[in-house]
Amino acid sequence: MSLWLGKSSLILASQSGARKMLLANAGLKFKAVTADIDERGIQAACGLSDPREIALLLAREKAKAVSADHGGSYVIGADQTLALGSRLFNKPAGRAQALAQLRDLAGNSHELNSAVAVAHDGKIVFEDVSIARMTMRPMTEPELSAYLDAAGDAVTTSVGAYQLEGLGIHLFARIEGDHFTILGLPLLPLLAFLRREQLIAV
């Protein structure tokens, strides 16, 4: 049973398996539509350096891009940035880049900045950014190689080369922040907005 009460369908502007799982587990019926935007091009041209602002900008752009073709629907855009101090990370292009990222992250604390934006008829009607602080345990080269062997191509699908809901949990010594933020969707603020708008039944 879906808890969605909206007259038009709810749309997730993402094909992220983790984000789809979170919305489905929350009892929301939705469609997933890929946002056709140049994320790296937008990031390069925006002139922003704050990882929270970058994540929010990309979440907005995804929501607006899909909303333009789906009038009347509420469209959820989401994005996540990883910052190690002042350095921003992107999804690794392959195993070698994943290994290089993990070498830098091992033994250090980094921040995940997860942004969500909701568009309706092309306008942003809600946005939020949540932060999780992640401390990766020190790891030897053989340990990193063993992790990469076990995780396989999945390491290229997430910023930081890990999925915390899977084998990536083995990399960490301490985590500060909620599970939803870590998976890339600030779910509690999003549900609070939908509830205020009387779009969900609970």
pTM: 0.92
Using the Cα atoms of residue 116, residue 121, residue 122 and residue 124 in order, give the sign of their dihedral: negative
**Tens-place pLDDT, residues 125-184:** 999 999 999 999 999 999 999 999 999 999 998 889 999 989 999 999 999 999 999 999
**Tens-place pLDDT, residues 12-59:** 999 999 999 999 999 999 999 999 999 889 988 998 999 999 999 999
Q: Which residue has the higher pLDDT, 165 or 105?
A: 105
Q: Which of 79, 104, 121, 153 is catalytic?
A: 79
Our answer to whether residue 79 is catalytic in this structure is yes
Q: Quick one: residue 117, left, alpha or beta (phi over 0 = left, psi -120 to 50 = alpha)?
A: beta
Q: Rounded to an integer, what distance in angstroms lies between the CA atom of residue 165 and that of residue 126?
A: 27
Contact 122, 69 (CB under 8 A): no
Q: Rounded to an integer, what distance in angstroms lies between the CA atom of residue 118 and that of residue 85?
A: 29
What contacts 86, CB < 8 A, 6 or more positions away?
A: 49
Encoded tokens for 177:
């922040």
Q: Rounded to an integer, what distance in angstroms lies between the CA atom of residue 122 and that of residue 50?
A: 25
